[in-house]
Structure 1
């Protein structure tokens, strides 16, 4: 049951660091990005690794990164993203995006890694 205790602790760490809901696909993205550091990972590569559509990857990247919505009452922009990843157009392919962990994302993955050692 030690493994169960570690998984529960990992979930608590994620909740404490993120302070918002995070799903399994988003956690998997974080782990793939961490595994490839310091190099960024393309959305198409993540799509293949996760057997998931690039549209789904893109949606999850919006949540994991900086994602702004317009406040319907005040009209100003609200950051609803988690701030764990940063994405930008690929320098090699103008139709592709790549992503890497932010300092906050690296900290979260590092804490999870230390837990399972």
Structure 2
């Protein structure tokens, strides 16, 4: 079953990042179109998939993670202004039969991601 999912891990505190707002866009021409806004659960995942087998399409997408708000709510020390505020991840889906997983490992000063399945 093809799908797109995400997961946010707080590497500064060694925990799943609960309560991270994320905005999910499909890139259509010069203007990204907002598909949905979600918040991560206790496990740092969203309760619903970003795309399921009925909605996954070849194309370019963006997930914007609102990390400064998350770290502020959790009283994690940050610079003022914050070094990282919102992290936009631009990526493409080329196979509508595949599972795509886009995790974010984040601290107030760095982040990394990879293509999971």
Q: For the superposition of Structure 1 and Structure 2, which TM-score range results when normalised by the shorter chain?
A: under 0.3
| Larger RCO, structures 1/2 (Cα 8 Å, 6+ apart) | 2
TM-score (norm 2): 0.27
Q: Which has the higher helix share?
A: 1
Larger Rg belongs to? 1
Larger relative strand fraction: 2
